[in-house]
Copies of this chain bind each other. A is one copy, B any other.
Amino acid sequence: MKSFRKELWFQTPTRRAFVNITPQVDEALRESGIREGLILVNAMHISASVFINDDEAGLHHDFEVFLEKLAPHAPISQYQHNETGEDNADAHIKRQIMGREVVVAVTEGKMDFGPWEQIFYGEFDGRRRKRVLVKIIGE
């Protein structure tokens, strides 16, 4: 069994953003040389997500509206977590809805995807350097 590890770094200019990271994960897979196995891609921060969905700007707007309605950022005083001096309780909740991680099959050296699957980094408390972990096991 082989294993491979790589960190991807992000600093989004806005508090919230969706970034298509499929090319970076593809590159990590090529570097690994692994042909059959599993890829884990996870946010290493608890106010960010990794998820798979469509690379369509309108849908990303719809996700933003949906998440902000479910767990609004303001007023920040509505969350006990923010009494610690933070203002990101909503980001922890939004990340929980969108998920921490995806696991992707590797078949014949490629990510085994349906026609529209793309991997996104979902940032809910940005404007600082944060990481995603790519771990690949297989052979």
What is the interface of chain A, defined by CB distance below 8 A to chain B?
1, 3, 5, 36-38, 40, 42-46, 51-54, 56-59, 61-63, 66, 70-71, 79-84, 89, 92-93, 95-105, 107, 112-117, 131, 133, 135, 137-139
Shortest A68–chain B CB gap in Å is 13
Inter-chain CA distance A70–B41, complex, in Å, is 27
B100→A98 contact, CB < 8 A: no
B36→A59 contact, CB < 8 A: no
Known contacts A5-B112, A38-B40, A133-B112; A80/B97 CB under 8 A = no
B117→A44 contact, CB < 8 A: yes
Count of identical protomers in the assembly? 3
- Which residues from chain B contact A92 at a C-beta distance below 8 Å? 53-54, 59, 62
- Which residues from chain B contact A70 at a C-beta distance below 8 Å? 66, 70
B101→A103 contact, CB < 8 A: yes
Task: Tell me the nearest residue of chain B to A132, going by C-beta.
Answer: B114
Inter-chain CA distance A36–B139, complex, in Å, is 13
A46→B40 contact, CB < 8 A: no
B114→A45 contact, CB < 8 A: yes
